[in-house]
Amino acid sequence: MQKIIDKTVLSDGTKIQLEDWHSENSEKHPDLYGYMIGAYPKAKNTGKWGWVRTGETFRLSIGRNEYAKYTDDMVLADYESLKNGTKTLANLREHFNDGAKHEFYLGLIDKEPEW
């Protein structure tokens, strides 16, 4: 189970939290999980299945990804940048765990991906 290290609310009202998922690693996969930013923004677009709806909050995850060279230290730095307002969620779009789906929900792209 993840451990919540810190919680805050951004200037636009979006709740975010810093999570530690290291305890979920196994002997077989010792570096799979790490730090993650959990954000709860309001959707600007409704998904085609209706699980995410315009005006409602949804979970957006930005987690460590060693394959994409996005390290624990980078997650921690980006969390602080979100907190102090020097970055926005849109600035971190390349690190969204659900990529273009979440870009669509946030209104950063106009067309929902097919997957």
**Sequence spans of domains, the chain:** 3-106
Model confidence band, residue 25 (pLDDT cutoffs 50, 70, 90): confident
pTM for the whole structure: 0.90
Structure confidence at residue 1 (pLDDT): 76
Is residue 115 scored above 70 in pLDDT? no
DSSP symbol at 19:
E
CA-only gyration radius of the chain, Å: 14
Give Cα separations from 63 to 70, 88, 93, 110 (angstroms). 8, 15, 12, 24
Taking only the tens place, the pLDDT of each residue in 28-40 is: 887 888 999 999 9
Taking only the tens place, the pLDDT of each residue in 38-83 is: 999 999 999 998 899 999 999 999 999 988 999 999 999 999 999 9
